[in-house]
A and B are shown apart, each in its own frame.
Chain A
Amino acid sequence: MAVYIVRRLIAAVILLLIVTAATFVIFFLVPRLAGATPDDLASRYVGKSAGPDQIHEAAVRLGFTDPIVVQYGRFVGGLVFGRDYSTGPISVHCDAPCVGYSFITQNPVLPDLLDRLPVTLSLAVGAAVLWLVGGVATGVLSALRRGSVFDRTAMGVALAGVSLPIFFTGLLSLSVFSYALGITAPGGSYTPFEDNPFVWAYDLLLPWITLAFLYAAGYARLTRAGMLDTMGEDYIRTARAKGLPERTVVVKHGLRSALTPILTIFGLDLGLLLGGAILTESTYSLPGIGKYAVDAIVNNDLPKILGVVLLGSIFIIVANLIVDLLYAVIDPRVRLS
C-alpha cells in the first residue's frame, strides 16, 4: 500500500509538471504561434494608456521577450526556490512554492489562493455532504420503490436539477429566499467558520442547497440505476434466501456494491469543485477560488489563471488518489498494488 501511494505521488508530480507545461504552452506559446508578439502579451499588464515604448519595456521587464523554455524554467524555478519581483522602491519576494505573481494586482498568487481556499472548501464540502446524502438516499428509495409516485416525482425533480443551471437556480433562490422572504443570507455573505460556525452555516445554506440540488440530481439517478442493477443480482436473492434482514440486504449488499461508481464520480466532482465552483461563487459573489478564476480570466491575468489551474489539478489528482484508496475499503475484491 505504501509503495502504491509513493508511486502515485511521484506520478502526481509528473502530471502536475505536464499540466503546468501544457498551460504555459496554451497561454504563452500558442499566442506567439498565432502571431502575437511579446509586446502584445505585455500590453495586458501596462494599463490603458501605455505607448509602444512603454509596452516594449514591460515586455522585457516581465521576461516575455525570452524564449518560452527560459520562461517556463523560471516558473518551475520559482516553484522550487521562490522569486523576487520589483514593486518600485522595494522588492517583493514570492516564497517557494511561487506559483506566480500577478502583474495586475502586484501580488503573489499563492497567498491569494490560500486566502480564498476556505471559502471554496466550505462551499464544496458542505454541498458535497448534502448532495451525497440527499442524492444517494433518494436514489436508493427510488430504486426500491420503482414505478411508485415517489420514484416518478423524485426522478422528475432530479431531471430538473440536472437541467437547471446554477446561475438560474441561484439567482432565483436569492431573489425568493433572501430578498423577498428574507430567510437566508444575501449574496456576498461569508463568515469564516472560526469566527462563528452558525453564521458560517447560515451564510452558506443557500449556496449549499443550490449546488447540492444540481449534483444530487445526478447522484440520485446514478444510484437508482446502480441499485436497480444490483438488486437484481443473484447474490441479493441468495442473501434474502438466507433470511438476512431487508435492511442488511439493501445497505450492506446492494448499496455497497452500487457505491463504487458513485465514489468515482464523487472524487472527480469534489476535486473539480475544490478547484473552483465558478458558477456558484460568481452567482453568490463568494470570494473563493472560482470567483478568483473568473476575475482573472476577465482581466487576462495569466499568472493567476495558471495558479488556479495548478491548484485545481492538485485537487483532482489528490481526490482521485483518495478514491482509489477507498475502493479497497468499499470493495474487498480490489487490491492495491
Chain B
Amino acid sequence: MSSRRRVAVVALGAVSALVLAACGGGSASSSSGSSAAANGISNPSDVTGGTIRMANSGDWDSLDPADTYYAYSWNFARLYGRSLVMFKSAPGADGATLVPDLAESLGVPTDNAKTWTYKLRTGVKFEDGTPVTSKDVKYAVERSLDKDTFPNGPTYFNDAFDLQGYTSPYKDTSPDKLGLKAIETPDDQTIVFHLKSPFSGFDYFAQLPATMPVPVAKDTGTKYKEHVVSTGPYMFKTNELGKSFTLVRNPNWDQATDPNRKPLPDGYDVALNVNADDIDNRLQSGDLDVAVEGTGVGPSAQGKILADASLKKNTDEATVARLWYANINSDVAPLDNVHCRMAVEYAADKTGYQRSYGGATGGEIASNLLPPVIPGSEKFDDYATPNNAGDVAKAKDQLAQCGQPGGFSTSISYRAERPKEKATAESLQQSLAKAGINLTIKPYPSGDYFKLYAGKPDFAKANGLGIMITGWGADWPDGYGFLAQIVDSRVIRAAGNTNLGVKDPEVDAMIDKALQTTDTAAREKIWVDIDKKVMTDAYILPGIWAKGLLYRPPNLTNAFISDGFQMYDYLALGTTRK
C-alpha cells in the first residue's frame, strides 16, 4: 500500500474537522448527582403508551439521515431509521458496542479489511409496506456523498471509497441511479463495500445514519428531511421545520425483524428552538421529558437542582467523550523546543482550568487525551503537579533546559463567544506568569475560529499564537473517532483544521498501524500509545474531560446513559404519563 493511500485512509473524515468542536456544549455537571441512570436503568418498565415530549434549544441540523452530524440526532434517528449496524441500546460501556441492526451480523471483512460485506435481514419494510433491499441502502449511501445537497453530514464515505468521479445519484446517468462502483449489491439482501485502503473499523461507518435505506422514488433531495420514509418503529406524522415534529408508531415495523428495539411510548413530540432556560424549568416542573441535545442543564438550573435534594435525585451525570484542552503550537518559537512546551505543562494550574468550566461540576481534570469513556483508554499523568495546581519549580527547570531561564512571552487564543474559554485563558495567563511565561490573550470569533484564525496554520504562526484553546469530542467512542482529527499531521490543511499543531511522523505511522489492526484489544493499545506519544512531546495541554448533568422527570421510565452517545438512550425511554 502506498503511503499516499495510507494517508487517504487516515484522512477519512478529515474534512469533518470542525464538526466535533461544535457538536455539543460540554455542559457543566455535578459529581453529586444521583446518577441512577448513569450506572444502570432508572425506573425500569415495560409499560407501553403515552407520548414522550422532547425539546431542542436550537434547530435540528437535519432529520435527513444523509445530512445530520450531531450525536443526539444520530441517537434519535434510530427511532425512525435502521442503519446496517448500531450502538447497542444498553447502559454504560455495553452501549458503546456495535450490534447488527438492518444487517444480520456485523460486517464481514475480506481482502485485508478492504472489502466489507453485510447481509440484510429479511422482512424489513418501509413505512408504506415496501420491502427494504440492499439497493435502498446503496442509494442512501450514494446520496450522502453529495455534499452540495447534503452539506451537514460527515464525509467518511467520500474519503473511504474510490469514487472514480462519482459525485451524486442526482447526476448519475444510470437508469437505477446506482452507478457507484465502490458499492455492489449482488442480490437484494447483500451489500458489499470496497474501500480504497484497509480499514479495520468500518463497522463504525456502517452505524452512520447515512446507511439508513432511502427509497429512490421517494427521494426529494433537500426536501426529503420534511418526510423521511421510516424503517424504524416510529414514523413522522407532522414536521413543521424549525418549530416542531411528531412521531407516531410505524405500522409496518415488525418486532420480529428487530431484536434491538422495544418501543414503549406511542409517540414523540419534539419542539425546536425552545429557550434553553425554559427547557430546564419545564423539565423540573414535569412539562417536558427530555432535553434532546443531551448536553445537560444550564448553569442556573444546575445550581437550583443541586441545592434541592428532591430534584437532585432525578439527575444523572454523563461522562462525555469530550476533552477541553489547549494546543501548544510548535510552529511558534520558543515552543518549537519540547522543553518550553513541557514548561507550559508543568506551570499550568489545572484546577483553574476546571474552575473555568464550573469546578468539579464541569468535568474531571484531564491528564492525557483519551477520555475515560472511550473503550481501552488509560489514565496517565506525565506532568503531575501537587494538587494539579502547577509546579513552578519544575516549569522553571524546563525553561532552563529550553534556553529560556527567564521565561518568554507568547499569545493565547480562545473563542470570543465562549466565557468558559475566556476564563481558561485568564487562568492560564495567571498560572503561567508565575513561571515567567507571559501570555497575551487574543479572542477570535467562534464561527471563524478554525477557518480563519487558530485553525489556519499561517495565521497562527504569523500572529504568534503559542497556545490555542479548543475542545474536541468523538464521533463515536473509539480511538480513531477521537484522536485522528486532532493528532494526525496529515489532516492539516491550509485552513479549517482542528489539529492545531501536532505534527509527528511517528504518531502518523502509529495511526496507520492502528487502522490495519483488526484485533480490538491490540488496536486500543495503539491508541493509548499514540496518546502517550503526544503527551511525551507536550503538544497538547489537556484541560478537563467534560461531564453533563442530565435531568429526567420522575415520569420518565427506562432511562439510562449509554457510552455510545453519552446521553440518555432514546430507543429505550418510556413514560408513565398517559
Name A's B-contacting residues (CB within 8 A). 40, 43-52, 54, 57-58, 61, 87-90, 92, 105-107, 112, 115, 171, 174-175, 178-179, 182, 186-188, 282-285, 287, 291-292, 295, 298-300
Q: How far is the CA of A282 from the CA of B115 in the complex (A)?
A: 50
Question: Is B222 positioned at the interface, with any CB of A under 8 Å from its CB?
Answer: yes
* Stretch of B152-160, B330-338, B374-382, B390-398 on the interface side: B152-160
With a CB–CB cut-off of 8 A, which chain B residues contact A299? Answer: 59
B287 pairs with A295, CB closer than 8 A:
no
With a CB–CB cut-off of 8 A, which chain A residues contact B16? Answer: 48-49
Pick from B147, B240, B273, B277: contact of A50, CB below 8 A. Answer: B147
A40-B451, A52-B494, A106-B223 given; 19 more Cβ-contact pairs under 8 Å: A48-B22, A51-B496, A57-B148, A90-B221, A92-B223, A105-B59, A105-B241, A106-B222, A171-B278, A178-B281, A182-B285, A187-B281, A188-B271, A188-B274, A188-B282, A285-B273, A287-B242, A291-B273, A295-B242
Q: How far is the CA of A115 from the CA of B239 in the complex (A)?
A: 13
Question: Is B149 positioned at the interface, with any CB of A under 8 Å from its CB?
Answer: yes
Question: Is B495 positioned at the interface, with any CB of A under 8 Å from its CB?
Answer: yes
- Chain A: minimal CB distance from B46 (Å): 30
Q: How far is the CA of A206 from the CA of B412 in the complex (A)?
A: 46
Q: How far is the CA of A62 from the CA of B49 in the complex (A)?
A: 47
Q: Closest residue to A296 on the B side, CB-wise?
A: B242
Q: Closest residue to A52 on the B side, CB-wise?
A: B494
A186 pairs with B282, CB closer than 8 A:
yes
With a CB–CB cut-off of 8 A, which chain B residues contact A92? Answer: 223
With a CB–CB cut-off of 8 A, which chain A residues contact B271? Answer: 188, 285
A283 pairs with B151, CB closer than 8 A:
no
With a CB–CB cut-off of 8 A, which chain A residues contact B155? Answer: 49
- Chain B: minimal CB distance from A43 (Å): 6
With a CB–CB cut-off of 8 A, which chain B residues contact A187? Answer: 274-275, 278, 281-282
Q: How far is the CA of A45 from the CA of B149 in the complex (A)?
A: 11
- Chain A: minimal CB distance from B301 (Å): 11
Q: How far is the CA of A188 from the CA of B277 in the complex (A)?
A: 12
Q: Closest residue to B286 on the A side, CB-wise?
A: A179
Q: Closest residue to A61 on the B side, CB-wise?
A: B148
In the complex with contacts A87-B223, A285-B271, A188-B69 CB distance below 8 A: no
8 of the cross-chain contacts (CB-CB < 8 Å) are A48-B152, A51-B493, A54-B147, A88-B146, A105-B59, A178-B285, A179-B281, A187-B275
A87 pairs with B153, CB closer than 8 A:
no
Pick from A40, A88, A179: contact of B284, CB below 8 A. Answer: A179
Question: Is B17 positioned at the interface, with any CB of A under 8 Å from its CB?
Answer: yes
Pick from B154, B275, B284: contact of A49, CB below 8 A. Answer: B154
Q: How far is the CA of A298 from the CA of B417 in the complex (A)?
A: 12
Q: How far is the CA of A48 from the CA of B24 in the complex (A)?
A: 13
With a CB–CB cut-off of 8 A, which chain B residues contact A283? Answer: 275, 278
Beta-carbon contacts under 8 Å, B205-232 to A: 219-223, 225
Q: Closest residue to B67 on the A side, CB-wise?
A: A47
B447 pairs with A89, CB closer than 8 A:
no
Q: How far is the CA of A56 from the CA of B223 in the complex (A)?
A: 23
Beta-carbon contacts under 8 Å, B12-37 to A: 13, 15-19, 22
Q: How far is the CA of A174 from the CA of B168 in the complex (A)?
A: 49
Pick from A45, A49, A87, A112: contact of B69, CB below 8 A. Answer: A49
Q: How far is the CA of A178 from the CA of B285 in the complex (A)?
A: 9
In the complex with contacts A283-B275, A285-B274, A51-B15 CB distance below 8 A: yes
A88 pairs with B59, CB closer than 8 A:
no
A107 pairs with B241, CB closer than 8 A:
yes
With a CB–CB cut-off of 8 A, which chain A residues contact B242? Answer: 105, 112, 287, 292, 295
Q: How far is the CA of A47 from the CA of B17 in the complex (A)?
A: 11
Name B's A-contacting residues (CB within 8 A). 13, 15-19, 22, 55, 58-59, 69, 143, 146-155, 168, 170, 219-223, 225, 240-244, 271, 273-275, 277-278, 281-282, 284-285, 287, 447, 451-452, 493-496
A188 pairs with B55, CB closer than 8 A:
yes
B151 pairs with A45, CB closer than 8 A:
yes
Most B C-beta atoms less than 10 A away, residue of A61, A89, A106, A178: A89
Q: How far is the CA of A291 from the CA of B58 in the complex (A)?
A: 11
With a CB–CB cut-off of 8 A, which chain A residues contact B18? Answer: 48-49
Q: How far is the CA of A189 from the CA of B271 in the complex (A)?
A: 10
Q: Closest residue to B57 on the A side, CB-wise?
A: A285
With a CB–CB cut-off of 8 A, which chain A residues contact B148? Answer: 54, 57-58, 61
With a CB–CB cut-off of 8 A, which chain B residues contact A298? Answer: 58
- Chain A: minimal CB distance from B402 (Å): 36
- Chain A: minimal CB distance from B205 (Å): 15
With a CB–CB cut-off of 8 A, which chain A residues contact B219? Answer: 88-89
- Chain A: minimal CB distance from B362 (Å): 23
Pick from B149, B150, B168, B275: contact of A284, CB below 8 A. Answer: B275
B59 pairs with A295, CB closer than 8 A:
yes
- Chain B: minimal CB distance from A111 (Å): 10
- Chain A: minimal CB distance from B418 (Å): 14
A285 pairs with B281, CB closer than 8 A:
no
With a CB–CB cut-off of 8 A, which chain B residues contact A179? Answer: 281-282, 284-285, 287
Q: Closest residue to A43 on the B side, CB-wise?
A: B451
Q: How far is the CA of A33 from the CA of B282 in the complex (A)?
A: 46
With a CB–CB cut-off of 8 A, which chain A residues contact B151? Answer: 45-47, 49-50, 54, 58
Q: How far is the CA of A57 from the CA of B182 in the complex (A)?
A: 25
With a CB–CB cut-off of 8 A, which chain B residues contact A58? Answer: 148, 151
B19 pairs with A171, CB closer than 8 A:
no
Pick from A47, A112, A175, A295: contact of B152, CB below 8 A. Answer: A47
Q: How far is the CA of A208 from the CA of B181 in the complex (A)?
A: 60
- Chain B: minimal CB distance from A266 (Å): 28
A284 pairs with B278, CB closer than 8 A:
yes
Q: List the 8 closest A-B pairs by CB distance, nearest first.
A: A88-B221, A47-B151, A106-B222, A187-B278, A179-B285, A88-B149, A87-B222, A87-B221
With a CB–CB cut-off of 8 A, which chain A residues contact B240? Answer: 115
With a CB–CB cut-off of 8 A, which chain B residues contact A50? Answer: 15, 147, 151
With a CB–CB cut-off of 8 A, which chain B residues contact A45? Answer: 151
Q: How far is the CA of A171 from the CA of B298 in the complex (A)?
A: 14
Q: How far is the CA of A14 from the CA of B271 in the complex (A)?
A: 39
In the complex with contacts A48-B19, A49-B18, A285-B278, A88-B170 CB distance below 8 A: yes
Q: How far is the CA of A190 from the CA of B300 in the complex (A)?
A: 25
With a CB–CB cut-off of 8 A, which chain B residues contact A40? Answer: 451-452
A171 pairs with B282, CB closer than 8 A:
no
Q: How far is the CA of A287 from the CA of B285 in the complex (A)?
A: 21
With a CB–CB cut-off of 8 A, which chain A residues contact B273? Answer: 285, 287, 291, 295
Q: How far is the CA of A66 from the CA of B447 in the complex (A)?
A: 24
With a CB–CB cut-off of 8 A, which chain B residues contact A174? Answer: 278, 281
Pick from B149, B278, B447: contact of A87, CB below 8 A. Answer: B149
A188 pairs with B278, CB closer than 8 A:
yes
